[in-house]
Amino acid sequence: MNRPTKVAKSPLPFAPQRQENGSAHMNQIRVLIVDDHTTVLAGLTAIIGMQPDMVVVAEAANGIEALGLWQRHRPDITLLDLRMPKMDGVSALNEIRQRDQSARVIVLTTYDADLDILRAIKAGAKGYLLKDARREELLDCIRKVNSGETRIPQGIMQKLVTGISSEPMTDREAEVLQLLAVGRSNKEIGTNLSISEFTVKGHLRSIFSKLNVLSRTEAIAAASRRGLVQF
């Protein structure tokens, strides 16, 4: 019987009981959980471990560990966080998919920014759920993705469609937007990028138009929601 490689103490008053008969696991969905928060790992392990048709085969705290454990266990489903140390979720997902294009990975994250969703879907995620999703929604997603379906909640799909339909930023506009987000003035942006203030203003007009906003504050807020800037 395969057991989790690293098991954190469960926050529940009891740990899920696993059957000792290895043959009992033949038809179970084998799950690898990847998250850098031990409480999340423990909670997910408890929830999944109580399902008669599922078993947690391993846990990882970052993308590097995830790759090694995925290679070792070849799970049916990988639950993958996006933002982790050493290697982020999208990079780990890309690496896993390079090894096996049929790998079934569900992104489970606190982030629903347009860019995060788009990167995960492009990398080959078969499901995308937020960590505040109901337990039943998570378990249903695991079962449906294991059966070959793609499960993206309607609200997240709408954000993705909206993001794709928007005109993308140029590389220069992205640089201007990032400096704007960290509080740089037009003069400071120009100095940093070796362009004139007039050119900076031109880029800002284009950025405002693409984000459908009227001010710097609105631009920063909209860019943050879409995952276009880092603070």
More confidently predicted of 102 and 22: 102
CA distances from 91 to 40, 48, 70, 105 (A): 21, 25, 14, 13
Give the model's confidence band at 115: pLDDT under 50 very low, under 70 low, under 90 confident, else very high.
Answer: confident
pLDDT single digits (tens) 184-216: 999 999 999 999 999 999 999 999 988 888 899
pLDDT at 1 over 50: no
3-class DSSP state of 148:
coil
Q: Which CATH number fits domain 166-225: 1.10.10.10, 3.50.50.60, 3.30.70.260, 3.40.50.2300?
A: 1.10.10.10
Q: What is the pLDDT of residue 22?
A: 45
Which comes out higher in pLDDT, residue 49 or 117?
Answer: 49
Percentage of the chain with pLDDT > 70?
84
C-alpha closest to that of 10 among 59, 52, 53, 73: 59
CA distances from 226 to 87, 142, 149 (A): 21, 26, 26
The answer on pLDDT for 28 being more than 70 is yes
pTM of the model as a whole: 0.64
Q: How far apart are CA 106 and CA 80, in angstroms?
A: 6
Domains of the chain, by residue range, sit at: 22-163, 166-225
> Residue 97: pLDDT above 50?
yes
CA separation for the pair 42, 59 (Å, rounded) = 9
> Is 25 within 8 Å of 57 (Cβ atoms)?
no
Average pLDDT, the chain: 84
Residue 65 or 122, more confident: 65
Report the pLDDT value the prediction gives residue 52, as an integer from 0 to 100: 95
Percentage of the chain modeled with pLDDT above 90: 53
Assess whether pLDDT exceeds 50 at residue 117.
yes
According to CATH, the topology of domain 22-163 is Rossmann fold (3.40.50)
What gap in Å lies between CA 53 and CA 29, rounded to an integer? 6
The residues near 28 (Cβ < 8 Å, ≥ 6 apart) are: 52, 53, 54, 55
